[in-house]
Amino acid sequence: MMTVGKSVERIRAVVTIHKRDLRLALFGPVLHVVTTSSIVIAIVIIRNYLNYIRSNGIYPMPDLFSFPFRWAIITIGVYLAFSTVVTISRERESGIMELLFYGPVDHIAYVVGKYMAQVTLYLMILALYSVCFLIFSWMAHVQISASFSFMILMSVFTGGYLIAIGIFVSSVSGSVRNATLVFLAIVIVALLLQGVQSWLSNITPESDYYNPVLLLQQVVSWTQIALTWLSPFSYLNHGVNEMLRGNMKAFVGTIALAISFCLIFLASSVLGLKFRGVRQ
Amino acid sequence: MRKIIGALLVMGICSVICGATVGMVYAQGSDEKREEFVYGVNAFNGSVYHGTFIPPSVDTLYLLADEISIVSPRTTLLYYWPVTNEYKADWDTLSENVEGVLEITSQGQIIASLQPRDYVIQYPKGITRGDPEIFLGEDARTKYEQWSEELQAYRLAVAAYYEASRIFTTTLDDKIEEGDITSADDVLVSAPVRPAEFVYSSTKVYRGMPVTLSPGNYEIRLRNSDGEVVENSEKKLVVFRRDRVGVGYTAIPEDKWTTPEDTKRPDEIIYVRSNNVLYLEPYFESEYNEQHFVHLETPQAPRFGNVDWLWVKEGKFIPNDLQISHGNMWLRSISFEDYMVRQTPGKALGYEILEWQEGISQGMRARSPDFSAFRLVLNRQSQDIGLHLVGDNDVAVSGSSRTVDVVRDIGSGELWLPALLPVAVGIALVGTRRYTLRTRRAAITETSTVK
């Protein structure tokens, strides 16, 4: 009886945190600025494709909307995860978190509430993007392929995973500054590593004897292999690519992995919050 | 705690650096040549034999499954070439076979012990035109001799042709004066015929171990006559096979003949401009694990982190018709035709593509077609059409389907319109909130004023 009562209380706390965060994000201007910016990024990419088709006459590809859509959702996913990092760290720094924990909020309710709020926002924005891409499709007579729907499905899980990473970073960080720096470093490394690898491979080493360029190339290559197993961005790319190859087993496997890592990071966030404490 | 984490990080970085340097550093300088054991490899890549070598810095050898590839243990001079960041072999100065038995192991068990054999690789229809053939042992020597004889016969025929041409040219005037030549046809009939081009190609007779394995991970090593494993001869061996086969197309827009595009992925969408003419040249292709295939051809390429797939163009073929469908409805079929490209006469740069027969009838020199393809005329009505190659039994060839999507030409300004949707949603939400807050504040102020 005690357990049921506690669970109900926890669910109530989750719903309250969820509603509060959702309201704060939806009624603030920043989310809408980022949403518009990410659609603008997608439009720039689509415009380049259409210009290419106009000038060259032809452009074969698996799906014209796949790449711009991925960039739009990566931008918004990073923003949502980043806003979680800042919100949680700020609540800890300002003492709001401590105050909440004097009430009916516990570690699990806090982490789940925060996570659910961001995921709900993410789903709402995904729906908005889908409408935008339908309009693009209607305007440019570009068909929406079945793979596009699968990509949206995949992005739900990878987006959720990215938000879980954000929650984890903020739950173990001491201050807003630390949490922000760590999270931005993770995102930048994950996104830029591939570019860095190709850039490094273009640098000509002067010899193979203890050469720092060769060393860096090797270290970057190893880091990239490790990141392939951790990064939500590479999960998104891998899952979408396998789905486009018709390998639905790998697609489902990638979703399962994203869910597993998401749960691991959420559980680690709860433990991290307990370990780190709610006080500044 | 911070100190512990810091110490762990420093240890981690140190171990990474040490590991990297130990695994990587090989030479003492960039311009130094040194004698090293290498594996020379003639690896079959699905269409030709690709010659490469495995220096000591590379620990894994990649080969295609169920095909004969040749591994030749050699000693050569290696030097580091910084421009491409790889080791090069100076085969001209030193190239010695290393005698021994090539042992292939799997999970610690020796599954094959291969002795070196003579081999020769030949392309009877030419390197780019037909499948290669590999001959081993006595067959190799016989085939090489046969090729040498045919080459010698060709050289003699060419020499005879030039001699006949010389005599023909010098006696042509006399024949005209004597009245033997009365028309251009008489010249053509009496002119000597040039021997057909000699495309039959062959390597010399080399020595190596023929390796044919099923897919899997193995280890190889060379054991010399003393029973010892030769230094640097222990390598990992990855044997892989194609993941899928399909049909790719080279799509040539009529007005951009020099910049064709390839569509390699089956079920890919070909986005095209309206009122466009496309020529589609089909070819066989296979899909491989990119890491495996790239390292089969370039063993010293850096390893990439991502596991990607690579479609590799194989051979052209003469297909049956190309069927066009819309949804489940077959619309029409297009036949495979030969085409010639003619440079536009005059100062204006350009060219036109003509059917081969049409080109000949318009006075173009008789020659083999520039390309053979399906001609596809596209307009607004061609939206969302499906393309499928038809096999011998009227069934669509697997992996040959594509969708054509005729994209509407829209202005850049028009394209920005959907961006107004999130702006509108944002204004509506933020505006509603501000209005509600203002109304509530006003109500509170009013209430407190009344009190």
What's the pLDDT tens digit per position in A23-36? 999 998 999 999 99
Q: Please give the average per-residue pLDDT across B420-424, as a whole number.
A: 93
Q: Given B27, B267, B433, which is nearest A208 (Cβ)?
A: B27
Question: Taking residues B315-323, what's their average pLDDT?
Answer: 84
The reported pLDDT for the residue numbered A7 is: 83
Contact A17, A119 (CB under 8 A): no
Reported as a pLDDT band with limits 50, 70 and 90, residue B211 is: very high
The token pair that represents A126 in the structure block: 């995904």
Higher pLDDT pick, B257 / A213: B257
Residue B16: what pLDDT?
45
Query: CA nearest B17 in A: which residue?
Result: A215
- Are A217 and B403 in contact (CB < 8 Å)? no
Indicate which of B18, B31, B78, B407 best probes the interface with A, i.e. most A CBs within 10 Å of its own CB.
B407
Interface of B with A in 166-205 (CB under 8 A): none
Interface contact flag, B267 A246, Cβ < 8 Å:
yes
Chain A within 8 Å of B329 (Cβ-Cβ)?
Answer: no
Average pLDDT over residues A62-88: 91
Distance of residue B109 Cα from the nearest chain A Cα, in angstroms? 30
Q: What are the percentages of helix, strand and coil residues in chain B, rounded to 5?
A: 30, 40, 35
Residue A70 above 60 pLDDT? yes
Contact across the interface for B405 and A141, Cβ inside 8 Å: yes
pLDDT tens, B138-165?
A: 999 999 999 999 999 999 999 999 998 8
Tell me: the pLDDT tens digits for B342-371? Answer: 877 766 667 888 888 777 777 777 777 888
CB proximity list for B349: less than 8 A, separation 6 or greater: none
Residue A192 neighbours by CB under 8 Å, 6+ apart: none
Residues in chain A, overall count: 280
pLDDT confidence of B27, banded at 50, 70, 90? very low
What's the pLDDT band for B18 if we cut at 50, 70, 90? Answer: very low
Residue A115 CA to residue A105 CA, distance in Å, equals 14
Give one DSSP letter per residue of A136-187, joined into a string: HHHHHTPPPPHHHHHHHHHHHHHHHHHHHHHHHHHHH-SSHHHHHHHHHHHH
CA distances (Å), origin B268, targets B214, B246, B247, B264, B353? 31, 12, 11, 8, 26
pLDDT digits (tens, 9 = 90+) for A175-231: 888 888 988 888 888 777 767 766 776 665 555 555 676 677 778 777 877 877 888
Q: Is B242 on the interface with A (CB under 8 A)?
A: no
Structure tokens belonging to residue A259: 């869910």
Burial of residue B164 (CB within 10 Å: 0-12, 13-18, 19+) is middle
Do the chains contact at B82 and A43, CB–CB below 8 Å? no
Tell me: pLDDT of B182 over 90.
no
Give B278's contacts in chain A (Cβ within 8 Å).
57-58
Bridge partners (DSSP) of residue B289 are B309
ipTM over 0.95: no
pTM of the prediction? 0.79
CB contact under 8 A, A143 and B405: yes
Q: Between chain A and chain B, how many beta carbons pairs sit less than 8 Å apart?
A: 207
Q: pLDDT tier at A247 (50, 70, 90 boundaries)?
A: confident
Q: What is the pLDDT of residue B21?
A: 43
